[in-house]
Each structure stands twice: as structure tokens, then as C-alpha cells.
Amino acid sequence: MAKYRFDQIAINSTEKKKPVEEDRFTYLGLEHLDSGSLKVSRFGSEVAPIGEKLIMHKGDVLFGKRRAYQKKVAIAPFDGIFSAHGMVLRPKEDVIDKDFFPLFISSDYFLDAAIKISVGSLSPTINWRDLKELEFELPDLDTQRRLAAVLWSMNETMDSYKELIAATDELVKSQFMEQFKELINHPDACSKIEDECTVFADGDWIESKDQSEEGIRLIQTGNIGNAQYLDKGERARYITEDTFDRLNCTEVKANDILISRLPDPVGRACIVPEGLGKCITAVDCTIVRLGSRILPEYFIAYTLSPFYMMQVASRETGSTRKRISRKNLGILKIPVPTIAEQETFASVVRQSDKSKFEMEQALSELTATYKRIITENLG
């Protein structure tokens, strides 16, 4: 394979403009880009963006140069303006195929190399003067075209899986609102979250506290997905029994619910799975151990509902980084149907979770194959 400097592969378009009112409808910021997806599903601003923005054209590759570790890359869906915290990239088609180009930019091969040259501590950013000097190996154009055809087909399938998974979540949300809307509309049928718990406490761990190679597992905000526990595998952290005793930690147990009070989003929750052993959690997580009137599966579905999310949004604090306090979390209202009604709903959730798990497994396997093909063909 031939090796090229990045400025031999890509054009960095720096054309800018100061936005006017109508530009707010075709504005893309880094917040509109999703890690791992080349598609843009949301856009626009309530008011005209402030400060100069990059001009983008449909088909341009948008790359988030600020906090590049988030790995945000997307294809511009229309002509418009893009955040100055990003780059607007175009392929040099004598070196790289235009269909292969976005796949290359979104690959770990490119992104990992780019992230290494980020500068700054609070908000690391990639400078073009450094990026353009990086060298990458590329297959010949015919191979790129064949790869692009295969990889785009896989991309479309992966997007279909993601859409089905999202639709499954929406089904649970709509079922919750349909089944329990009468209770939501009657305050007497609702209770405070903290009043339905036998334990309602913040975690104990902060970054500066002792860590060890093994022992008591630390569950962090990064382990809390939207209604699911995210296993970090080899990146799991631990503390010793001595540290646990010295800090007088609250033990997290299987079937407890953990709520992240940090984004993204604020208030997301998961059930602690069986098999983790003795655990503690971080100070930005709240431990919810439910009493006899609320089932964990029902509670998790409640945290996905618009009723819960609106309450969280009304009690968030902070301007640049939203969060919610345990006090404000504890006073949120939860409708309390009978256990029989919750069991009926939980059966729907379990069936949905089973379907979702199967789709996630298929997506995971396809993603692994996709990444393997990229790795085998890029440097």
C-alpha cells in the first residue's frame, strides 16, 4: 500500500460566514453528531448561531476536531453551516475514492492517530497544521471502491439494527404512557422516588481515592446506559476491602438501580446485574434500592418516560454541564400502580428486552466484522 500525508488525501475547507437568521435552520453543531454514525438525524438552532461558522456543502465530511476522542464524524446532509470546532473535509479523488473517504475518516485507523495529536487539557483540539503532516497507508483506488461497496452495505444494515433497537425503546415508552397515563394525571396516585426506597444514597468513590487491580468493583457513570448496564470489561476499576471499610462505603447490590446525575442524558438509569460481586459506585451516581411497592423493571421503564424526563429537565442545574442533585432527584414523582399491573407491564418489557438483546448481539457481531475489514485493509 502507498503512504500519503493527510493533506495529500483531504482538503480542509476553511470557508466561513457570519450566520444570519435563516442559517439557524441549516446549522450543525458538534452536539448534532453522534459517535459511530455517519448519519445526521437532528440539526438546527432556536436562534441564529453566534460567531463565524464553516460553510458546508451536501456530501462534505464533518469531523469534530474539538474533543476528538468522542469520535464524531458525519456526512453533511445538506448545504449549510457547521461549528467552527469542527473541520469540513473533502477528498482528493486522485488518491482516495469519494465513497471510501467518509469510511476512512470515521475509521479507528484515522481517528486514533488524529486523537494522539490533540492539544490542550480541558478541551483537547486537533490543529490542521499537525493533522496535515500525519501519514496514512491507503490501498489502490480499485480496492477502495470494492471496499466502499461492501462497507456501505454493512453500514446500512447496522443502521437498520440501530433503528429497530430505538423503535423497541420507543415501544416501551409509549406502552408506559398508555398504560399509566391515568395515574400520572392524578397526583394522589404518585409518590416521591425517595419515599419508595429502602436505600436512597449517593455513591462514595471519587477519582482520587485508592484503586487496586482487583477487589471491590467500582461502578461509574460510564457504566450506566439508558436503561442498561454497560460492562467495561478489562477497563473495570476496583478498590480493596480496607479502602471500603475506611471510607465506610455503601455497598451496591444486584437489582439495585443506579441513576447517573450527570449527562448524557442526566437521570439515565440501569439495574445492577447479577454476578458483579461486591460493588460500590461513584459520587455522581445515586443508589436506589426499592421497597415493596415498586418493581425494578417498572422503575427503569419509568425513567425512559416523558413524564420522568420532563421532571428531570425542570430540576437540572448548570449551564454548560447539566446535572441534578440527589435532593431534587428524590422529590420527583413516580406513579404507583398495583404490583399486578406492574408485573403485566414488566412482561412486555422483558419480551422487548429479549428482542433488543438479540438485535444488539447481531449489531455487535456485524460491527466487529466491519472493524476487522477496515483494520485488514488500512495500514
Burial class of residue 358 (count of CB atoms within 10 Å of its CB; 0-12, 13-18, 19+): exposed
C-alpha R_g of the chain: 24
In angstroms, the Cα distances linking 184 to 78, 115, 167, 312, 377 are: 41, 47, 23, 15, 55
Statement: residue 379 has pLDDT above 70: no
What's the pLDDT at 209? 66
Q: What's the confidence (pLDDT) of residue 83?
A: 95
The torsion angles phi and psi of 233, rounded to 5 degrees, stand at 55, -120
Q: Per-residue pLDDT tens for 52-81?
A: 999 999 999 999 999 999 999 999 999 999
**What is the reported pLDDT for 320?**
73
User: Which has more confidence, 340 or 121?
Assistant: 340
Band the pLDDT of 208: cuts 50, 70, 90: low
DSSP for 170-229 reads HHHHHHHHHHHHHHHT-GGGEEEGGGGEEEEEE--B-TTS--BSSSEEEE-GGGB-SSSB
Tell me the pLDDT tens digit for each residue of 298-344. 999 999 999 999 999 999 998 778 999 999 999 999 999 999 999 99
Q: How confident is the model at residue 374 (pLDDT cuts 50, 70, 90)?
A: very high
Contacts of 140 (CB under 8 A, 6+ apart): 1, 2
- Percent of the chain whose predicted confidence (pLDDT) is above 90: 80
For residues 338 and 298, the answer to whether their CB atoms sit within 8 Å is no
Asked whether the predicted pLDDT for residue 254 surpasses 90, the reply is yes
| Average pLDDT rounded to a whole number, residues 346-368 | 92
Q: What is the pTM of this model?
A: 0.74
Q: Which of 336, 360, 307 is nearest to 163 (CA)?
A: 360
For 219, phi then psi, to 5°, come to -95, 125
C-beta separation of 281 from 221 below 8 A = no
pLDDT of residue 207 exceeding 80, the answer is no
Weakest mean pLDDT among 117-121, 137-141, 152-156, 288-292: 117-121
Higher pLDDT, 139 or 187: 139
**226-234 long-range contacts, Cβ below 8 Å, gap at least 24?**
226/169, 226/265, 226/268, 226/304, 227/169, 227/268, 227/269, 227/270, 227/300, 227/301, 227/303, 227/304, 228/270, 229/270, 229/271, 229/272, 229/273, 230/270
Name residues whose C-beta falls within 8 Å of residue 334's C-beta, 6 or more positions apart in sequence: 190, 191, 192, 193, 196, 294, 299, 302, 308
Of the candidate ranges 38-42, 148-152, 231-235, the one whose mean pLDDT is the lowest:
231-235
User: Residue 226 has what pLDDT?
Assistant: 87
Comparison of pLDDT for 232 and 367, the residue scoring more: 367
* pLDDT for residue 233 is more than 80: no
Which of the four CATH numbers 3.90.220.20, 3.40.50.620, 3.40.50.2300, 3.90.180.10 does domain 186-337 have?
A: 3.90.220.20
- pLDDT confidence of residue 60: 98
- Thinking of the domain 2-138, which architecture would CATH place it in? Alpha-Beta Complex (3.90)
What was the pLDDT predicted at 66? 92
